[in-house]
Amino acid sequence: MASVEIHNVEKHYGGFHALKDISLTIDEGEFIVMVGPSGCGKSTLLKTIAGLETVTSGRLRIKGRDVTRLEPGDRGIAMVFQSYALYPHMTVEENMGFGLRMAKRPRAEIDTAVARAAQILRLEEQLRKYPKQLSGGQRQRVAIGRAITRSPDVFLFDEPLSNLDAALRTQMRVELSTLHDRLGSTMIYVTHDQVEAMTMASRIVVLNGGRIEQVGAPLELYANPINLFVAGFLGAPRMNFVAGRVTSTNGGSASVTCGGDLKVDFDDLAETPAVGAAVTIGIRPEKLRIGDPDAGTSFPARVRLTEYLGRETIVYADAGDLATSGSDSGTGVFTIQIGDIQPFAPDAPVSVGFDANAAYL
Ligand code: ATP
């Protein structure tokens, strides 16, 4: 059964068009992660689902019920914010039980719900403390606990981990995934963090300029990005893009020349481009290899900079005539990710290679 249905939602802020014809059906129990550049409308979309923003047009349903004009408290959702939004004068226990107290639920029900949430989130020892006596991670767990006690149909998270340090973020990420497995609830999560999106999502929604660019399982989006935007947005370091021109075609196959010595042959294309068409080819940094005689396609380059990250090496290599664009490293420079530590001298000439079937057209 569909948990959340978003039908043709539009949002205008005065003259600014923030959400453009958004439609999406979210199934019961899915973990949906919304990603996109700053200002793309992620938070606005989450707030319209929550009822904290009205939609200009379109409809929203939660569990089959039209909630488009309902108040946030009547939608069956609970939201967790980046800022925690805990009541400072209430203990952890009081914060977590607040929603149920407001709903005038019986005392025994509140106590049971708080005890269960505290146990799930390992907060049993903290129940009598006030928010200021807790660490950042504990505060965020209380905010999540307050959502859990309300047993919502849908959990909404707006960058809940971005105030935490890197180690705590990793820990909370694992905890949130475990929580999702345990509760089986529908969760919708907004983040800037690609790792959160790739690791937690059952499906990722990529937004850009108020529109949905693509929706799919993390590895599906990574392997089959639908356009240049999604290809460049998912993946760190970013995909390398090179400008080229189609020099010949043959029913589903095409040869692309990219300047310099680089020529790439594509087979099994869904759509055959026209001869002479300007195209962009994409190659993920981890698909590029240095000095591999077995690489089917290769081109000469010069090492500009090498970064050693412990378990991998990132090499930025200048390929002169090749017009790269949109990469982390600037025009003419390829980013190459090597899965171990290999030393390269600055300015060393190298042969950069890849298999044509790892390239995107
Ligand atoms: P970020 O990742 O930076 O938080 P976001 O994708 O969550 O970005 P939103 O907060 O949804 O972005 O904002 C989308 C756009 O709508 C932005 O350009 C923003 O300036 C605009 N916007 C948001 N709220 C309002 C408002 N109340 N009035 C006018 N414009 C707004």
237 prior amide bond cis, ω within 30: yes
Please give the ipTM for the structure prediction.
0.96
What's the pLDDT at 162? 83
Q: Whose CA is nearest to atom 2 of ligand 1?
A: 38
- 197: pLDDT strictly greater than 90: yes
Question: Ligand 1 centroid to 80 CA: how many Å?
Answer: 18
Q: Atom of ligand 1 at shortest distance to CA of 36?
A: 6
Q: Is the CB of 42 under 6 A from ligand 1?
A: yes
Q: Does the pLDDT value for residue 59 go beyond 60? A: yes
Tell me if residue 66 falls in helix, strand or coil.
Answer: strand
User: How much is the average pLDDT of 138-165?
Assistant: 88
From the CA of 186, how far away is ligand 1's center (Å)?
Answer: 24
Q: 39 CB less than 6 Å from ligand 1?
A: yes
Model confidence at 323, in pLDDT bands (50, 70, 90)? low
How many whole angstroms from 11 Cα to the centroid of ligand 1? 11
Report the mean per-residue pLDDT for the chain: 91
Model pLDDT for residues 93-129, shown as the tens digit of each residue:
999 999 899 889 999 999 999 998 898 888 999 999 9
State how far the Cα of 80 lies from the Cα of 70, in Å rounded to an integer. 19
| Residue range 180-199: mean pLDDT, rounded | 92
Comparing CA positions, the residue from 263, 264, 281 lying closest to residue 326 is: 281
pTM recorded for the entire structure: 0.91
For ligand 1, say whether the CB of 240 is within 6 Å of any of its atoms. no
Using DSSP bridges, classify how beta strands 313-318 and 297-308 pair: parallel, antiparallel or unpaired. antiparallel
The answer to whether residue 69 scores a pLDDT higher than 70 is: yes
Question: Which pLDDT does position 165 carry in this prediction?
Answer: 81
pLDDT over threshold 70, residue 293 = yes
Atom of ligand 1 nearest to the CA of 207: 6
DSSP 257-278: E-STT-EEEE-S-SSPPPTT-E
By alpha-carbon position, which residue is closest to atom 19 of ligand 1? 39
In what side-by-side order are the strands of the sheet with 313-318? 289-290, 349-354, 297-308, 313-318, 333-338
Is 222's pLDDT higher than 90? Answer: yes
What is the C-alpha separation between 79 and 132, in angstroms, rounded?
A: 21
Is residue 84 pLDDT above 80, yes or no? no
The span from the CA of 122 to the CA of 124, in Å, is 6
pLDDT digits (tens, 9 = 90+) for 228-252: 999 999 998 999 999 899 999 998 8
Smallest CA separation from ligand 1 atom 11, residue = 41
For ligand 1, the distance from its centroid to the CA atom of residue 209, given in whole angstroms, is 10
- Whether 189 shows a pLDDT value over 80: the answer reads yes
Structural domains in the chain, sorted by start: 2-233 (3.40.50.300), 240-358 (2.40.50.140)
pLDDT tens by residue, 203-218: 999 999 999 999 999 9
Q: How many angstroms is it from 18 CA to the middle of ligand 1?
A: 7
The finding on whether 166 has its CB within 6 A of some atom of ligand 1 is no
